[in-house]
Amino acid sequence: MKTSLLKFSALLLAVLILSSRAYAQAVRTGRSVALAGSGALGMYGVQAAGWNPANLGLKANPSFSFSFLSFSAVFGNNAFTPKYISETFVEGDTLTRETIDDILSKMDANRLKLYTMLGLPVFGLSTKNFAFNIDAHVFADASIPRDVFEMAMTGPVKDTLYDLSTVEQNAIGYSTVSLSAAKSFRGIPHTTEFAAGVTFKYIIGGAYTELVHKEGSLQITDDKIHAQGLFKFINSKNIGDGVGLDLGAAGRLHWMDLYVGATLGNLIGSVTWGELDVGEVQFSRDDGLALDSVSKQDYWNNFLTQTDTTYGYEGSVTKALPRYLILSADLPYLHGKGDLFFTYYQGFNETPAQNTTPRLALGSEFRWLPFLPLRAGVAVGGIEGTEVAGGFGLSLIGYQLNVGASWQRGVLAGAQGFSIAVTNYFGPAFKRPAK
């Protein structure tokens, strides 16, 4: 059996298109991606929302900032790297049983899981201690059973029962209109400055789909083909809505001139859809193979007894947004020319955009040349696993272009996931004030 790289890549691309997933904490920026998510205390102005709204009340916050025409995207899976695909699925080569077993062994939990995270800052404006943002998000994930891959590569094996019930698909898209505000306080012990902040969010649910019931199997015996399956999808018919609330605090300590912060994200946060449809697909077969009919199209059109129906869903569906805690720190160095960032991220619920595995991130921004800030970061844990990141900014008078890229569970062509973000930012460049 011959399998080409082109065919396999087409399969992966098709699943990625069917399986969007995004990061609900905040739209990732070129700066935050380059720092591997460590720079929560370096996100000011329009970029403070979601990371720490209290940053709007610190002295480093610009009096005005504006952003538009930006994007972030993440792609990944739990099994294959571009290097592995290019070396394994070669045009014209034959996959041996040993190679097939190696391919299947790469899949965690006996399934291939794919995800992509998309974020689009539509518009952002901040003035003094206030920020207004409109963002768009798309999240989801999908899983393909290992048995499906094995059948595709080897063909069905007689008397083997193939389980098709571990397939998954979730997708959600929404827009967020948010207003952030912060207030500074004096006289807080052990601090030279301190601020508290809040972000109020109105959420417009654009689309939602979820595979809520899945069962299926296939088995071939000497005289029959046994196949059965029942899959149900819930799909939104109209837009949904909801609200969200983030709280934050940040300050500058006397000790070591260290900045510290804390964020409770989506303390309140969910999207509700009230009008939905259920799509149901059911198939079965318990019969032999008519060899004299295999060349006839009508025979294959009716090979499975199949029904495909749609009906209204009774009730509503509410999807919680990821709830999380961010603890962050920033240690300026080289008299304000650099910052060392640290972030601890803890998710509180299992959602398509996060898990409850703690995440630690460390990064640095170096501004020896003020017009060309350089950034790098590393992280472990969370939904991303390991992450290595880097990027830069192009800083002109009143404008900054920030570009960041990162790799999850590997580096470059040996990574299973990839992130990229590009942000257009108008306003003063980030700089720590003198003590």
Domain ranges of the chain: 5-426
CB of 172 closer than 8 Å to CB of 271: yes
State residue 110's pLDDT score: 82
Handedness of CA 278, 321, 45, 344 (dihedral sign): negative
What H or E segment, with its residue span, contains residue 301? helix 297-301
The mean pLDDT value for 215-222 works out to 86
CB of 407 closer than 8 Å to CB of 388: yes
Q: Is the pLDDT of residue 22 over 70?
A: no
- Return the minimum-mean-pLDDT range out of 6-15, 173-182, 230-239: 6-15
State residue 74's pLDDT score: 85
CB of 152 closer than 8 Å to CB of 112: no
Of 257, 234, 432, 262, nearest in space to 319 by CA: 234
Identity at 80, one-letter amino acid code: F
Q: Is the pLDDT of residue 346 over 80?
A: yes
The mean pLDDT value for 373-402 works out to 93
| Candidate ranges 19-33, 92-106, 226-240; pick with highest mean pLDDT | 226-240
Pick one of 3.30.1360, 2.40.160, 1.10.8, 3.30.70 as the CATH number of 5-426.
2.40.160
- Residue position matching structure tokens 């399934």: 111
Question: Phi, psi at residue 113, to the nearest 5°?
Answer: -110, 130
- Return the minimum-mean-pLDDT range out of 16-20, 243-247, 357-361: 16-20
| E-assigned strand segments in 274-398 | 276-287, 305-312, 317-320, 324-333, 338-347, 359-366, 374-381, 387-396
What H or E segment, with its residue span, contains residue 225? strand 225-236
Q: Using 50, 70 and 90 to split pLDDT, how confident is the model at 353? A: low
Identity at 264, one-letter amino acid code: L
State residue 345's pLDDT score: 95
Q: How far, in Å, CA of 197 to CA of 206, rounded?
A: 28
Q: How far, in Å, CA of 55 to CA of 40, rounded?
A: 9
Dihedral angle computed from the Cα positions of residues 83, 89, 92 and 97, in that order, rounded to the nearest 10 degrees? 130
Q: How far, in Å, CA of 156 to CA of 225, rounded?
A: 10
- Return the minimum-mean-pLDDT range out of 6-20, 273-287, 290-304: 6-20
CB of 403 closer than 8 Å to CB of 30: yes
Q: How far, in Å, CA of 44 to CA of 66, rounded?
A: 11
pTM, two decimals, is 0.84
Q: Is the pLDDT of residue 151 over 70?
A: yes
